[in-house]
Homo-oligomer: A and B are copies of this chain.
Amino acid sequence: MRALALNATLKPSPQPSSTEALTRVVLDALEEQSVECELVRLVDHDIAPGIVSEAIGDGDEWPALHRKIIAADIVVMATPTWFGRPSSVISRALERMDALLAETDEAGVPVAYNKVAGFVVTGNEDGAHNCIAEMAQAMFDIGFTVPAQAWTYWNKGPGPGEEVYLTTEETAWSQTTGRAAAHNLVAVAHALSVNPIGPPPS
């Protein structure tokens, strides 16, 4: 089983990313269940605005990311929080994934069917529930299944300020919740691999 995590921090590598740190908790738990994991920091790649899977102009790196999504059984969408919303970087990836709606296998089954999606959100401020809701809706629109409690988040409580996930001691709930998310992602991905959703009724 394969998992792909897309980290939508605004900060390019090698800057430290809270979102990446919490995503790693989920990926570590997936690896303990023998899932092969890859993590991509989206902002390190040139992704053109648009809604197709094919390259848009020179230098557009989306096609390689599209292939990674197609190859994955589990996709984890990870975003920081700005104004209580997911970042522009995750929105750009979701816009490109809009094209998956029309891509099917030979039997007519949409390519995202029988894949599962999970979510990670960090922020200095409030907004995780809404980020999860927005990303989840886009993912199950495309054809992913969203398992029970397949998310985790961390924020620092009310008001603006430094995002201190990387230095705070108070991350136990976020980590436990992330490990439970990994468990449910594997369970539902497995259930769908044994009994997949078939093509839509004609």
Enumerate chain A interface residues (CB-CB to B < 8 A): 10, 29, 43, 49-51, 82-89, 91-92, 94-95, 98, 101, 110, 112-114, 125-130, 132-134, 136-138, 140-141, 143-151, 153-160, 170, 173-174, 177, 179-180, 183-184, 187-188, 190-192, 194-198, 200-201
Let me know if A158 and B174 touch, CB within 8 A.
Answer: yes
Let me know if B127 and A130 touch, CB within 8 A.
Answer: yes
Given contacts A82-B98, A146-B146, contact A158 B160 (CB under 8 A): no
Q: How far is the CA of A98 from the CA of B92 in the complex (A)?
A: 19
Given contacts A91-B87, A95-B88, contact A146 B155 (CB under 8 A): no
Q: How far is the CA of A45 from the CA of B177 in the complex (A)?
A: 35
Nearest CB in chain B to that of A57: its residue: B12
Nearest CB in chain B to that of A199: its residue: B183
Let me know if A125 and B136 touch, CB within 8 A.
Answer: no
Name the 8 nearest CB pairs between A and B, nearest first: A84-B129, A88-B91, A133-B137, A157-B157, A159-B173, A191-B195, A88-B92, A130-B130
Return chain B residues, CB-CB under 8 Å to A196: 187, 191
Q: How far is the CA of A177 from the CA of B136 in the complex (A)?
A: 19
Let me know if B200 and A160 touch, CB within 8 A.
Answer: no
Partner of A84, one of B130, B192, B200, B201: B130
Let me know if A197 and B187 touch, CB within 8 A.
Answer: yes
**A and B contact pairs by CB, cutoff 8 A, 26 listed:** A10-B51, A51-B82, A82-B94, A82-B95, A83-B94, A85-B91, A88-B95, A112-B148, A127-B130, A128-B158, A136-B137, A136-B140, A140-B149, A141-B149, A143-B149, A145-B146, A145-B148, A157-B157, A159-B173, A183-B198, A183-B201, A187-B196, A187-B198, A191-B194, A191-B197, A194-B194
